Structures are given as structure tokens and as C-alpha cells.
């Protein structure tokens, strides 16, 4: 089999790059072994604001401009729904936070994202003495449904295989790479935390942050908005809500913990007053980087090897945006921004 791109991994990064390739009429093969589950269990929230500091995320406008149309077109293509635009309300806990919100919403760069008027939530189950700040251009992606439906689509196109990638079988030649019976012009490693097993890119500083989430059922909660406080609550429909998330920088396993569950339950009981039951407990390792910037680029020795990783907690917006950046870099030689290029790492490793 001959393809333009062999893509390793089918999380948000792999899916986004695969679809970017197909939109440009490139032939692909995607390999995935489901060893990483961060996409499957992710909250899937997206918003353009860092809610702890009321600041805009890096390249917010560009990410929204590329990623939102990307998912909408993909919904049409797959004839299903997994992308939802719904409001996000940030609970304000004191007068100081109220004042900080007003100051932020008054800034020209943030006025498109932060409502200048505080919101009142007429919901007895979620109390707030200081009201809520409303964030625009927010919502969530049902990442599990996206992964399932897109995988099935790739299978029908004969460009997906569920298999563990064997690095020892990769043959790198001058103008092509060979992997078993596949000949490819380029190979893209989009393995998430699995990069630590990759002998070509395991020198990159992908740290990984474990996150745990809960799915609860609360018949009397009746939320239609995403609520953000010390944790977030995301309405899924049918009285189900996703609650997250913990951050553990030491445990690098996908195992659920009682400590993580207790942390979420404690915060949840401080935020809502109605009864609920825990339906599901989830855990996974986010592909995070210490400088909070993703990892894109070409291997320092092999021109056919590329990496797309480090999407962290902002994978929904990062996935399509970064895939477009990497594709344009490979196909058209458009340089990657210094903030995302692995050259920033290589300069320190190989100077």
C-alpha cells in the first residue's frame, strides 16, 4: 500500500490531521492501538478564555476560526452530531472576582468573549451570591462519539488499522518510509502520552497530567449551561452531567483513584445542593508540556518524520488549528510559529 501520510494515533490530534489530509485529497493510513484514552474520556470543553485569570488564550481568534467550522463540516460529512455550542458561566466567588471580571470585560481584546453584564442563574441547586460571568464562543465536543464515528468512517475507506506500532519495523529511506507493507511519503506521530515509547521523539518534554472525571445523574439540577468554578459541570442531556477535572502531575497511569473521586465529590457538593448519583468514573493522562505549548515539527535527522503532540487541556481548539499548521509546513514550507515548533526544544538539546 502506498500513501502520502502514515498517521500513528487517532486521538484528537490524529483525527484532526487525518481529516485535514483528506480535505486536501491526500492518501492516508491511520494506525491506533487504543493504549491512550485521553480523547475518549476527555471533557471536551472549549473556550477562548483562561478562567483563573480572565485572559485570552494564545491565538484564540485563529483557533476558533479554523476549529469550529472544521467540526461542523465533519458533522455534516459523518451525518451525526457531536459538536455543541452552549454558554459557559464562570461562578464569581467574591467582590474581588467581580471587579476583576468587569475590568477584563472592559478590555477591547476581551470584549468579544466576556459579557460586561453579570448573569443570574435562576437555579436553586446552584447558588452564587456574586452571580456569574458569561463567556461567549464556548461549548463542548463529544470526543468519544467523534472518535467512534470517525474511526468507523476510516474503516469504510480502508485507511484504518487497529494495531500497535512496532518502531523496529520502520525503515527510513531518502524519499520514503516503509512500515511493513506500507510505503509512505511522511509519517506523523500523534500518540499523546504514548510518545514516551517513541525512540524518535521521546526526548521531547511531554510531561503528561492525569485527569479524573465523573459522570453523574441529577434529576433536579436542570442545567443548560456549562458551569465553571473550582470544577466544571457540563450538561450531557437526560439529567446526565460530566464533572471535572482533577490535575495530578505525578501519577502517569489511566487508573481511577478514590482520592481523585473524593476531590471531585467534595468540590461538587460545594457547588450544587441537589441530590445526585455517580454513574461513571473516568481517568486518563493529558498530553501536556511544561511550557504549555504544543509540540509540532520535523525530526532533527529524518525529514520524513513529524510529530503532532502536546495538545493538553485545549485539544478541541488545538487539534484542527495545529493540524492545519503542520500540514501547511510540510506541504508548502510555511514556517511553524516559534511557540509551537519543536525547534525551540532542539535548540537546547543540540546546540
pLDDT tens digits along 233-284: 999 999 999 999 999 999 999 899 999 999 999 999 999 999 999 999 999 9
What is the rounded distance in angstroms from the CA atom of residue 116 to the CA atom of residue 125? 25
Average pLDDT for residues 32-54, to the nearest whole number?
Answer: 85
Q: Of 270, 286, 302, at which residue does a domain stop?
A: 286
Residue that is last in its domain, among 239, 261, 286: 286
Domain presence at residue 341: yes
Distances (CA, A) of 82 to 47, 78, 158, 230, 236: 16, 10, 23, 26, 11
| Average pLDDT of the residues of the chain | 94
Whether the Cβ atoms of residue 340 and residue 325 lie closer than 8 Å to each other: yes
pLDDT greater at residue 174 or residue 204: 204
Residues 277 and 307 in one domain: no
Confidence of residue 223 (pLDDT cuts 50, 70, 90): very high
Indicate the residue among 245, 271, 286 that finishes a domain.
286
The alpha carbon of residue 181 and the mean position of all alpha carbons in its chain are separated, in whole angstroms, by 32
Distance from C-alpha of 208 to C-alpha of 56, rounded to nearest angstrom: 23
Same domain, 118 and 151: no
Hey, which residues does 171 pair with through a beta bridge?
178
Give residues with Cβ within 8 angstroms of 321, minimum separation 6: 59, 62, 63, 66, 67
pLDDT of residue 35 exceeding 80: no
Q: Is residue 50 one of the residues assigned to a domain?
A: no
Same domain, 119 and 223: yes
Instruction: Of 9-13, 30-34, 132-136, 297-301, give the lowest mean pLDDT range.
Output: 30-34
Task: Give whole-number Cα distances, 9 to 115, 206, 230, in Å.
Answer: 38, 16, 32
CATH of the domain at 253: 3.30.9.10
Q: Which residues pair with 182 in a beta bridge?
A: 179
pTM: 0.95
CA distances from 295 to 42, 120, 164, 302, 304 (A): 20, 40, 22, 16, 16
Crossing angle, helix 143-156 and helix 60-78, to 10 degrees?
50
Angle between helical axes of 12-23 and 143-156 (0-180°, round to 10): 50
Parallel, antiparallel or unpaired: strands 88-91 and 226-228:
parallel
Q: What is the CATH number of the domain that holds 26?
A: 3.50.50.60
pLDDT over 70 (residue 109): yes
Q: Which domain holds residue 100?
A: 85-138+208-286
Rounded to an integer, the average pLDDT of 88-97 is 95
The structural domain count of the chain equals 2
Place of cell 461562578: 91
168 and 193 belong to one structural domain: yes
pLDDT at residue number 239: 96
| Same domain, residue pair 246 and 302 | no
Cell 480523547 identifies what position? 39
pLDDT of amino acid 351: 66
CB 138 within 8 A of CB 46: yes
Q: 219 lies in a domain?
A: yes
Other residues' Cβ atoms within 10 Å of the Cβ of residue 103: 11
Residue 306 included in any domain: yes
Q: Residue 49 domain-assigned?
A: no
- Is residue 69 in some structural domain? no
Does residue 75 lie within any of the structural domains?
A: no
Do 338 and 294 lie in a common domain?
Answer: yes
Paired strand residues for 217: 240, 277
CA atoms of 237 and 56, how far apart (whole Å): 29
- Give domain status of residue 171, yes or no: yes
Judge if 107 and 221 occupy the same domain: yes
Q: Are 224 and 280 found together in one domain? A: yes
| Average pLDDT of span 110-123 | 93
Amino acid at each position: 500500500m502506498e500513501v502520502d501520510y502514515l498517521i500513528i494515533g487517532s486521538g484528537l490530534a490524529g483525527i484532526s490531521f487525518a481529516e485535514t489530509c483528506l480535505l486536501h485529497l491526500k492518501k492516508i493510513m491511520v494506525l491506533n492501538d487504543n493504549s491512550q484514552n485521553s480523547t475518549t474520556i476527555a471533557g471536551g470543553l472549549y473556550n477562548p478564555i483562561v478562567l483563573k485569570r480572565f485572559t485570552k488564550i494564545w491565538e484564540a481568534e485563529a483557533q476558533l476560526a479554523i476549529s469550529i467550522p472544521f467540526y461542523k463540516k465533519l458533522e455534516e460529512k459523518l451525518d451525526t452530531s457531536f459538536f455543541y455550542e452552549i454558554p459557559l458561566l464562570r461562578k464569581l466567588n467574591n467582590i474581588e472576582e467581580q471587579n476583576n471580571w468587569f475590568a477584563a470585560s472592559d478590555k477591547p481584546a476581551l470584549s468579544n468573549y466576556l459579557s460586561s453584564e453579570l448573569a443570574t442563574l435562576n437555579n436553586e441547586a446552584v447558588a452564587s451570591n456574586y452571580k456569574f460571568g458569561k463567556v461567549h464562543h464556548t461549548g463542548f465536543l463529544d470526543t468519544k462519539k467523534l472518535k467512534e464515528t470517525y474511526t468507523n468512517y476510516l474503516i469504510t475507506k480502508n485507511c484504518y488499522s487497529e494495531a500497535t506500532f512496532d518502531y523496529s519495523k520502520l525503515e527510513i529511506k531518502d524519499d520514503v518510509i516503509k512500515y511493513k507493507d506500507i510505503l509512505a511519503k511522511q509519517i506523523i506521530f500523534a500518540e499523546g502520552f504514548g510518545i514516551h515509547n517513541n525512540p524518535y521523539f521521546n526526548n521531547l518534554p511531554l510531561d503528561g497530567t492525569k485527569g479524573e472525571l465523573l459522570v453523574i445523574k441529577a434529576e433536579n439540577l436542570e442545567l443548560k449551561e456549562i458551569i465553571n468554578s473550582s470544577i466544571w459541570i457540563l450538561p450531557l442531556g437526560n439529567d446526565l452531567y460530566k464533572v471535572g477535572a482533577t490535575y495530578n502531575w505525578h501519577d502517569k497511569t489511566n487508573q481511577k483513584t478514590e482520592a481523585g473521586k473524593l476531590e471531585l465529590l467534595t468540590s461538587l457538593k460545594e457547588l450544587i445542593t441537589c441530590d445526585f448519583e455517580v454513574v461513571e468514573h473516568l481517568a486518563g493522562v493529558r498530553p501536556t508540556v511544561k511550557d504549555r505549548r504544543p509540540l509540532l515539527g520535523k525530526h532533527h535527522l529524518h525529514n520524513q518524520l513529524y510529530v503532532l503532540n502536546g495538545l493538553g487541556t485545549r485539544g478541541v481548539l488545538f487539534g484542527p488549528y495545529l493540524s492545519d499548521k503542520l500540514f501547511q509546513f510540510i506541504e508548502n514550507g510555511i514556517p511553524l510559529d516559534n511557540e509551537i515548533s519543536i525547534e525551540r526544544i532542539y535548540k537546547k538539546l543540540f546546540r
